[in-house]
Amino acid sequence: MIYIAAGGIMRRFIVLFAIFCLSSCNSQDMVAKFVSPQDQATARHYLDDLRARNISPVKAAIDPSLLTSSTESNLDNLSLKIPTQEPTSVKIVGAHFYGDANKKVISTTWEYQFGDKWLIADITIQDKAGTETIVGLHVIPLTQSLEEQNRFSLHNAGIGRYALLIAMALVVAITLIALIRCIRTQNLRRKWFWIIFILFGFTGITLNWTTGRWFFTPIYLQLFSAGAKAQFFGPWILTLSVPVGAIVFLVYGRRLGKPRDAQFELESQ
């Protein structure tokens, strides 16, 4: 096994590379910027009513087009998923906004902690002509916090995840080497084309770090042929692409031009 034989050096290299790719600012602060304090307060008000088993005001706020004979029983079932005591903590962990001149729709997702219990509450509120109504409401129990569930960790990562991190580091290194050689190469026709060709990788092999699910996207462009992202409190998504341009240039670059160092040596002789 390569990653075992390499020992601590390889592990440190992978950790440093992962930190470089995955560092981000506070997720909760980022989410909160998408939703005004007033909209947050409105969402929390309805969720607090649901937690207190106060169903009537929540039902009254449901959009009339969504009301059915089972609405009240459905709200009762949702409220039973939420403990009645005061939560240990409440975080806004997701926000979506869309709308036009006639209406706006704001969806917020909240993470509640009740001691050693966790749950996600998602509520969508529509504002149409100044009238606010609830158009979506979900409650999902969790076994642990989203932050812990989606935390990036190498613990029990497995060969596949280690192999992906090593491959990502390699393609970034190949891309940088090819880019530097391209910039240093004199008499290279269409240099800007080569630079762009080198910078981007093609196709995409994607891994959801939390679930371990792999995806393949045949038509995909990616800067530096590797990337990682996490949307707020969601799972880390790592993507690897093939650095076709970098490989082609490293193989055929010497035939396309003359490096500056070589030119200097010839002129000095």
Domains detected in the chain: 2-6+153-268 (no CATH), 34-149 (3.10.450)
Q: Which long-range contacts (CB under 8 A, 24 or more apart) does 31-40 make?
A: 31/92, 31/93, 31/94, 31/95, 31/232, 31/233, 32/92, 32/95, 34/95, 34/96, 34/97, 35/92, 35/95, 35/97, 35/106, 35/108, 39/106, 39/108, 39/125, 40/92, 40/108
| Nearest of 240, 165, 241 to residue 11 by alpha carbon | 165
Residue 20 predicted with pLDDT over 50 = no
- Provide the token pair at 153: 């960790």
- List, for residues 43-100, the tens digit of each pLDDT value: 999 999 999 999 999 999 999 999 999 999 999 999 999 998 999 999 988 888 888 7
Q: Could you report the per-residue pLDDT of 30-59, keeping only the tens digit for each? A: 666 678 889 999 999 999 999 999 999 999
pTM above 0.85, yes or no: no
